[in-house]
Chain A
């Protein structure tokens, strides 16, 4: 565990982003609070539609409006509230202080420009350099992300590169202005497992080298375990559990986190049968009343169906939003007994 300085890099407070569609209001993110410290990796894990990507797009102020709107909350970054920043201010921050990489490197690169041109674009906007210097910086960045023959690759087009190489180019682009925060939205999901290993290793190395913080968004509990210092688990627009990575895996306190961990096959231990979470993720236009997980939760009571629990700290540095943390503990104890 690295020692974290107490100064927060980014402080998200009670953020809510809604989409006002013809069918109704989608509360994609509904009151989430978290912080990221300099140099750490915060993992955000959840299934499709849980609001993890909308959270990151809200930080970047890339929510299309209408239909989307940041309804409430604050995003404090360098003593400034990004929710109140103008788009002009945001342009100075994006790609410079905060940058982002996406899941699908092919669709996020422009096919008609060379990779060099695309990396240089950010450098020319944010730094006081001429074209020749920018090109040299682009080549340096390609070298840093481990692309062979960077002098040659800099003049190639995205289609000439493999998926893993494209993701390296995306990373080179994102890091070209030495950002303080890198938001990575499912950066390895589209990649093969051996290439994923390469990219994760690269990101971890660059994080130390550049001293930046990473917000790692993924659905993969394996990736989260590997790269995160702390983790926020999201379900239906809310953070349901928030703690450091060791505690989360050793001692999950929310039934959803616990359920997820039991529903995936583990490579290092065999079970005869997986414990599936019943039902499916609720429709965001029609979330259940009370706790949004109550329709799938084995411990749900009438209270859960009526009142939504707020996230609160139950142990130091361990926040959970659940009425029945004790019931999960009983279930865990029972499971331990059965093992013996």
Chain B
């Protein structure tokens, strides 16, 4: 695999204002994404995991500028996306597409499949006439495993798995280089998840796609990713090569997250680290390291100083005071 970077995120922040009172004054901020930096190499899959509310979906949407970033830099193929004007951004969107979690809510029920998949082709003017456009739609539907007989049908006529194929086809229609997949299989039945995962892997090979795969299911992320990034309360706590992350997790949060996965083998005995309490509110996150109130190894320094996020060798990034002491 080439180590060429397709996407580079530097110090990205996304804050949402919390308004209160008669004058709707901003009284606080939800720090959904708070100073994260990472990169994605060309042709690889980066898995982004974390629990609900950790900011993983916000991060995905901010990268595509579906949400405007509060601060930071997003460099995609050498261009800073945050500096682009509307027209330039639209041009750039051709290269970056998204697949959503809910295949029921993300397809317009009044549009036929041909129109759903054809819309991005029209917007980006990728087809000279209607015939060419329909040929392209047929070709894409065929690629994702849906026959042409489905072209004139509406989303409600499809099962969940088929709908997610339509979602994939729509993303693929403009021949992008990066696809951000936000929980693409978590709404699907177990027996259907594998179909969509296999499809995504095949497409990656055939069209040399790069994926940012956002999910909360660690077994799925482990299966599909080359590298994995773990988020907790708006921060990245660890990023590493998949094997390294799963074999030798450095951050206590990653360790407990991995140990919490139920294993589909009744003879397997795990040394489970059960975390106390819940994820704190991102409006008023804990001081110092955000994980310290739940961390089994928390020290005095953890509640006072925020640990530095740095490379502990061979691209194994982590942010934890324990590691600095070693």
Contact = CB atoms under 8 A, between A and B. Distances in A.
Q: Are A and B genuine complex partners? A: yes
B264 A249 contact: yes
A289 interface: no
Contact of A194 (B160, B190, B257, B266): B257
Contacts of B18: none
B274 A223 contact: no
Contacts of B279: 162, 192
Interface stretch (A71-79, A82-90, A94-102, A270-278): A270-278
B260 A196 contact: yes
A235 to B, nearest CB: 10
Contacts of A4: none
Of the listed residues A194, A246, A261, the one surrounded by the most CB atoms of chain B closer than 10 A to its CB is: A194
Contacts of A259: 191
B260 A281 contact: no
B52 A192 contact: yes
Nearest to B294: A194
Contacts of A197: 259-260, 262, 272, 274-275
A77 to B, nearest CB: 27
A198 B275 contact: yes
Given A193-B51, A225-B268, A264-B219, A280 B263 contact: no
Interface in B199-243: 201, 216, 218-220, 222-224
Contact of A276 (B160, B194, B259, B266): B194
Given A192-B51, A260-B190, A276 B260 contact: no
B284 interface: no
B262 A222 contact: yes
Interface in B83-108: none
B3 interface: no
A225 B191 contact: no
Contacts of A219: 189-190
Given A225-B266, A246-B266, A267-B222, A201 B274 contact: yes
Contacts of B161: 280
Interface residues of B, number: 42
Contacts of A193: 51, 216, 218, 257, 260-261
A160 interface: no
A63 B194 CA distance: 33
Interface in A45-76: 47-48
A275 B191 CA distance: 9
A123 B52 CA distance: 34
A281 B161 CA distance: 10
A246 B189 CA distance: 24
A219 to B, nearest CB: 6
Contacts of B201: 273
Given A198-B275, A265-B219, A267-B218, A276 B264 contact: no
A196 B191 contact: no
Nearest to A164: B278
B191 A281 contact: yes
B262 A196 contact: yes
A93 interface: no
Contacts of B220: 265
A268 interface: yes
B274 A268 contact: no
A220 B189 CA distance: 10
A47 B189 contact: yes
Interface in B179-207: 189-195, 197-198, 201
B266 A264 contact: no
A223 B266 contact: no
B278 A264 contact: no
A226 B219 contact: no
B216 A192 contact: yes
B129 interface: no
22 contacts: A164-B278, A192-B52, A194-B260, A194-B275, A197-B260, A201-B272, A222-B219, A225-B268, A228-B266, A249-B265, A259-B191, A263-B191, A264-B190, A264-B219, A265-B197, A266-B263, A268-B265, A274-B194, A276-B198, A277-B191, A277-B195, A280-B161
Q: Which 7 A-B pairs have the closest CB atoms?
A: A222-B262, A265-B223, A276-B194, A192-B51, A263-B194, A197-B260, A274-B194
Given A197-B260, A249-B265, 9 more contacts: A163-B278, A194-B274, A195-B51, A201-B272, A223-B262, A250-B267, A264-B264, A265-B222, A280-B192
